Structure formats: C-alpha cells, structure tokens
Structure 1
Amino acid sequence: MKTIQLKPKHDHRIRNGHRWIFSNEIHDSLKSYEPGESVKITDANGYPVGVGYINPYSLIAVRILSFKPVEINRHFFLERIRNAYERRQVFYADQSCYRVVFGESDDLPGLTIDRYGDYWVMQILTAGMDIHQDMIVDIIRSEFSPKAIILRNDSAVRKLEHLSEEVRVAYGDCPSMIEVTIQNLLFRLDLLHGQKTGFFLDQKENHAYVRRFTSGKRVLDCFTHLGGWAVHAALGGATEVIGLDISEAAIAQCRTHAEINQTTQCQFKCVDVFDELKAINDRRESFDVIILDPPAFAKSKSQVKEAIKGYREINRRAAKAIPSGGYLFTCSCSQAIDPDTFRNTVFQGITAAGRQALLLEERTQPKDHPILMSMRETQYLKCLVIQII
C-alpha cells in the first residue's frame, strides 16, 4: 500500500473526523497513483493519520476508510456492512425498506445500499468503491440472500471520478415493478429506472408526519414525485389533495398509489410547478397545507446563488396561497445549501409575500441516513414545518 503525506497544518480537520482530503492538501504529486487504489495517510511529520483510497482526477483526492491501520479486503467490507445493517435493526427491525449503507456515515464513502424488501439496490459513486463492486455484491448475496441486487451506477457524480454510468441487475432477477410497504403505504417501484434507487427513502418519515396536519384540510403537494406526501395527507383526513409534478410517468404512478392505498381525495396534475404556483396566486386560490419538496436546485457550490433565488420564489408563492393558521412544509435536498441558509431563504420568501410565520419544527433525514457529526456534508436534507400567521 502506497503512502500519501499531508501538507503542514492540513491534518487538523481530518483528525477531528472529517473523511475527505482535497488535492491541494496533499504534499505528494498525485501522478503516480491509480484511481481507486488504497493508500496510507500520514501528516507532515510522517505520523499515521489513517487509511483511504485515492483518485488523482478528483478534487476530493482521498476518502478515508479508517483512522486505524487496516487491510482493505473482504473482511473489512463484510464487517462494515454488517455493522451498518445492525445499526438499522435498532430502529427498523419491523420494516423492510430502508437505507442499509449511507456512505461516509457508515465508514464506506462512495457507497449507498438500499433495501426494498427482498430486492437490494447498490449505488457506487467513486473509483475506490468501484474496484470492489463485485466483492460487495457477493457479500450482500451471501449475507442477506436477496432475490436480486440492482446496480444503479447512473449518477452524474461518477463522471467526476472518470467512471462510466451503468444500470443493471448484478444478481438474481428483478421484475419491471415491485410492490413494497413503506410507512404502512403500498408503493409500486421501478428499481431499474426510477429516481435515485427507486424511492426517496430519506423523506419517508416526513411523508408520514404530514398526516398530523391534514385532517379536514385542503392540501397542495408540489413536486409530488410518487405521491408519498399526497397519499399520506389524504389518509390523514384531508378533504382534497392536489399533487403537482412535471413528469407524466410520475403522475401515472401517483394515481396508481392513490388507488392501491384506497384514497379518493387525491387528484394529480402534470404541470410546471413554478407556473402553477403563479397561476394559483393569480386566481387567489388558497390551500390549508402546502408541501414544497423540489429536486435539488444546487448540486454544487457554483449553483447556490441561483438555487437561493428558486427557493425564495417558490416559498414566496406558497406563502401567498396559505391562509392564516395554515401550514407550509418546505424542503431542500441540496447538500450545498446549509440549514441556516435554507431557513433564512425561506424566511425571505415568506416576508416577500407580506406574511408572518412561526417555525414549528426543523426536521431532517431519518435514522437510516445518519449524520456524521464531524462532517456536515452528511446532513443534506432540510424540512421546515411552518405555520403562517
């Protein structure tokens, strides 16, 4: 295993538990390293810092696997995956759909593993994980006996690592649609072609939480995707739920999910959400509860400025359409936007609408997406529960 040495005074953040080393923090030339190879890490004085893997083509040049001297082999991955699985059993032993491995938070940077009942989905984002892909598939197969293991290596992030994109079934057979139960609702998921790994598991508990606010209410669910928010709102006793999304395929699935969960209050429209919110304001239409759960507006720091404009605008329009006493659930999954910035941006949007509000709760991702306290990048999901007054 080769060694890389940090520049002077560049080890403090790492010794505090951060898992990334940037290329400008490394003393050595990176030209002699192969993408994905394991390396020992030392500080400027040659003292050991940890073990990780390197990619000379990436701004995040090294991702740390351990702060102790270990061999990166099958036993290493088996132990880490078992530990991650056992961590979830404390909270999800009675459930069959959850995230089993969440990258850096489970000391497996670049790796995501999601379970959907008997079907497991794996996503690899980095060269250091990609070279161990077959081994990880075999560990999942031998330890958990799934019916199928699907590779969803289709994230654009892989291009930054000089990796190609692919989607395929690595083990077993996967039907075009599977039916699963998530937070006591039935969903039919396309694990090969659906968003992310098939479902936004990070929002599943927030979806269910909205029920507390919807009894007897008129609800608008913006960017509804597969209808998780909308169907839970209906089952919470809403009198009417309107779900909006720009994708015809998503809207078709929403209608299916409303039907199989026996809700009759839902209707879904295929529209541009920004345009529809403007039309709602123009009609002076109102909703007792509005949910804003858009896709990431900022996937990098360079996009933050424009993203803030977008978040401010949709929250302004939503606030105008909520009567006093009504509720706004507003979310951001943009890692590049920190919680304080998002909260301030939402406040600016509400104020621009001429409204006042109470922040009732700040929610985030669930326990199967644990936040590594030494690495704020692992907290990406923001969900504010607000009452307009």
Structure 2
Amino acid sequence: MKIKIKKQAARKMMSGYPLIIEGDLVKTQDQLKTKEWHQFVTDSGQFIGTGYLGKQNKGVGWVVSQNENTKMDEAFFTQLFSKAGEKRQQFADNELTNAYRLFNGEGDGLGGMTVDIYADFAVVSWYNETINTFKTVLIAALVQAFPMIKGIYEKNRFEQTGLPETQLIYGQEAPEPLLVKENGVSFATYLNEGMMTGIFLDQKHVRGRLADGLASGLDVLNTFSYTGAFSVAAAMGGAASTVSVDLAKRSLEKTKEMFDINQLSLDNNKIVVMDIFDYIRYANRKELAFDMVILDPPGFARNKKRTFSVVKNYGELVAEVTPLIRTDGYLIASTNVANLPYDKFKEMVEDGIRSEGRRFKKVEEYRLPSDYVTASSFKEGNYLKVLIYQIF
C-alpha cells in the first residue's frame, strides 16, 4: 500500500526525519489499522521512503529506508543488525562491561524496537503492535547477525490484551539472577520479571563516574533508588556511606542483593523503604545532611498526598532536597523524559537551587552513552539529561 504524506512532513522525511505522526497522513482511518510494510509518497506520488504504521507514544509510524528498491526481508535486517553490532565493537570482548544497548531503534535505522545485551542474552523491546507482527523475520535476522546470543527475551511495551509483558522467545533461559558487569561493578538482573530488569543501561556513564571515585569519601543520598545501582557504584568508588530510598517494598531485597554480590557491607549503606517525599521532609526535620544527593525520579508519580510530574514539578523537588546538601556538596539531577527540553530542564534545576539561597556551579553533564546511538535528524531521540552541580 502507498501511504500519502502531507507536503511539509514529506520535506522533513526526505531530509532524514524518521517519525510519522497522525497529522502527517493525508488519510488516517483505515491506514492505521494495517500491519504491513508501506511506501510513503507525496501527494503527487513521489517516493519518500519505506516503513510502517504502528501507534506508540512517539507517533504512529516510522520511515525505515529511503531506498526505493529496499526489500524488508531477513537479509536487509541481518545487515542492519550487523552494522549496529560493528558500532558496539568496544563492548564485544569487554571484561569490565558486558551489559549494553546493541540496537537503539530509529538511531540504528528501525524505530519501534530496541535490543539490549545482558552478558550472553538479549532483551528485545517492542514499542508498537505492528513491529511485533514482524517478529519472526526480525528475530531470525538478529540470530543470524549474532549467533553467540544464547537466549532472547521480549518485552511488549504497548497496549495489547492477551500478550505477556515478557517471555523467552528464543534459546536458553537465563539464570536468575543473571550477573552482569558494568565498569567493573556487578549487577544482578532478572530478564523475565516484568518490564524492568534491575538496571537502567542508559545511566552507565553516571554509574561509571561514581565507581571511578566521584563520591569517594562522601555521604550519599540516592532517592528513587529502585535496586540501588547508583548507591552500589558510589560505594564501589569509595563513598563513606549511602542511603537508598524507594517506596517499593521489593527495593529492599533487590538493593541488598546488589550490595551482597559486590561483597559490600550494609553497615554504612542504609536501605529505606519509604515514600521519597516523606523521607525528604523527615530528613529536613531531623537536619540530616549529605555530601551528594542523586535525583532520578520517574516521569510521573502519585501517592495519597501528592502528584508529581517531572515536567511540572522537578524544580520544586530540587528546592526540597537542596537544604540536605552540605556546603561544597553535589547534586546529580537526572531525567529521561523526552518531551522536556534540555534547556528547560537545566532552568528548572537551577531555579530550584537558587530558590533556597544557594550558589552553585555545573561541573559535569551527560546525555545518552555511545551505545544508545541517536540519529542527527531526530534530536528528541537523545532523551537522557544528567546535570551535576556543586552547591555552595
């Protein structure tokens, strides 16, 4: 089927922009129900690219190739995956890091799916129903490109009844936990436990800095700590103490496990199961103080008393934790919310610090690591923003 694209959107796509939104389509009703490869063309019939339509949070489809003769077959995708692997060659035989992103959706040429490597296993995430229907050919191509993969799990990250969140779809089952390494630090991962595995691979640079000694000798508060990965990296890098705070009850055992596999004592590494906003109020009331506070909240959170949105409330959160930071201490402010521009995020963080009458200096910043390849024509693909400030 040939799908007609409006004039202005067609110009963007011809310049390499891969995302299709519903407003780009000349007609939308039945087209969005189709689950096949399409040619996208201008209103006059000029070829734009080959791709597919599939609703996800970013839009309704992706351009995959601008070559009119491209066949969307196993050979094409094998080559696409192999090229992605060549870009990650530094990780292939790396004794210090064996968990990384192997294929990053539109950044590597195919929006709607990602592939992460955890030691000898892979996790494929599908972000829309249509890409999932191409699963057979895509998994065959992935195995062809990387025969060393022992097993593949999938995560179905789209709304579809009747499908499991996660399951093994190829090869051997991974051990539980599956221990992986990153910057020489060990992490326990579980590939078949819901959507998350125990570690967010896009934060490898920040954990690497912590493991290299950024927090050496410091008292660290890690908020929204999940499995305590930042805390473990800080402790491995010589932190004097860490406090990991998360509301989820499972965070206690998961974080204990992370410390245990790295042979780190819990004597100076405290784990608190508590609503983070309650903990901040408690810490301020008790006049607790830290040399470093790590803020990496979810995009949206709600409890009985409060609704939190990164886009609306991040600056307020910064203002709440700033009194907990000792003079010359550090704030690591992070978000993965794609629709919050970098400049706006920076402004929110700095306004939050400033509102508490503190001076500050930005000392480091991080975006996505190199294994999270992004397309220069699709700047919103570089969603991660991490700012490190020293506060006086």
Taking structure 1 as the reference length, the TM-score comes to: 0.91
Q: Deviations over 1:337-358 (max 9, x none)?
A: 1111111111121122221211
2:3 matched to 1:4?
yes
Change (3 A) 1:360 1:33: closer
Question: Following the alignment from structure 1 to structure 2, what is the Cα–Cα distance between the partners of residues 306 and 294?
Answer: 9
Spell out the pairing of 1:186-265 with structure 2 (5 A cutoff): 186-193=186-193, 195-211=195-211, 212-264=213-265, 265=268
Q: Which residue of 2 aligns with 1:384?
A: 387
Spell out the pairing of 1:107-122 with structure 2 (5 A cutoff): 107-122=109-124
Question: Following the alignment from structure 1 to structure 2, what is the Cα–Cα distance between the partners of residues 57 and 187?
Answer: 30
Q: CA deviation at 1:336?
A: 1.6
Q: Deviations over 1:345-373 (max 9, x none)?
A: 11121122221211112211211112222
Question: Following the alignment from structure 2 to structure 1, what is the Cα–Cα distance between the partners of residues 359 and 323?
Answer: 11
Spell out the pairing of 1:286-325 with structure 2 (5 A cutoff): 286-297=289-300, 306-325=309-328
Question: Following the alignment from structure 1 to structure 2, what is the Cα–Cα distance between the partners of residues 368 and 169?
Answer: 24
Q: CA deviation at 1:290?
A: 0.8
Q: Which residue of 2 aligns with 1:87?
A: 87
Spell out the pairing of 1:1-389 with structure 2 (5 A cutoff): 2-31=1-30, 34-55=33-54, 60-69=59-68, 70-90=70-90, 93-94=93-94, 95-142=97-144, 143-153=146-156, 155=157, 158-159=158-159, 164-171=163-170, 172-193=172-193, 195-211=195-211, 212-264=213-265, 265-297=268-300, 306-389=309-392
Q: Deviations over 1:103-133 (max 9, x none)?
A: 1101111111111111111111123311111
Counterpart AA for 1:205: H
Change (3 A) 1:197 1:12: farther
Counterpart AA for 1:133: K
Contact 1:297 1:310 in 2 (8 A): no
Question: Following the alignment from structure 2 to structure 1, what is the Cα–Cα distance between the partners of residues 189 and 58?
Answer: 35
Secondary structure at 1:366 match in 2: coil
Question: Following the alignment from structure 2 to structure 1, what is the Cα–Cα distance between the partners of residues 42 and 54?
Answer: 19
Contact 2:106 2:374 in 1 (8 A): no
Q: CA deviation at 1:91?
A: 5.5
Contact 2:115 2:122 in 1 (8 A): yes
Contact 1:54 1:62 in 2 (8 A): yes
Secondary structure at 2:300 match in 1: coil
Taking structure 2 as the reference length, the TM-score comes to: 0.90
Contact 1:78 1:139 in 2 (8 A): yes
Change (3 A) 1:284 1:110: same
Q: Which residue of 2 aligns with 1:301?
A: none
Change (3 A) 1:173 1:56: closer
Question: Following the alignment from structure 2 to structure 1, what is the Cα–Cα distance between the partners of residues 151 and 192?
Answer: 11
Contact 2:221 2:244 in 1 (8 A): yes
Change (3 A) 1:377 1:164: farther
Q: Which residue of 1 aligns with 2:304?
A: none
Change (3 A) 1:360 1:307: same
Change (3 A) 1:222 1:174: same
Change (3 A) 1:169 1:127: same
Unaligned runs of 5+ in 1: 299-303
Q: CA deviation at 1:296?
A: 2.3
Question: Following the alignment from structure 2 to structure 1, what is the Cα–Cα distance between the partners of residues 137 and 82?
Answer: 14
Question: Following the alignment from structure 1 to structure 2, what is the Cα–Cα distance between the partners of residues 58 and 188?
Answer: 30
Identity %: 27
Contact 1:207 1:228 in 2 (8 A): yes
Contact 2:122 2:152 in 1 (8 A): yes
Contact 1:8 1:44 in 2 (8 A): yes
Question: Following the alignment from structure 1 to structure 2, what is the Cα–Cα distance between the partners of residues 259 and 242?
Answer: 16
Contact 2:104 2:374 in 1 (8 A): no
Aligned length: 379
Greater shift, 347-356 or 80-89, is seen at 347-356
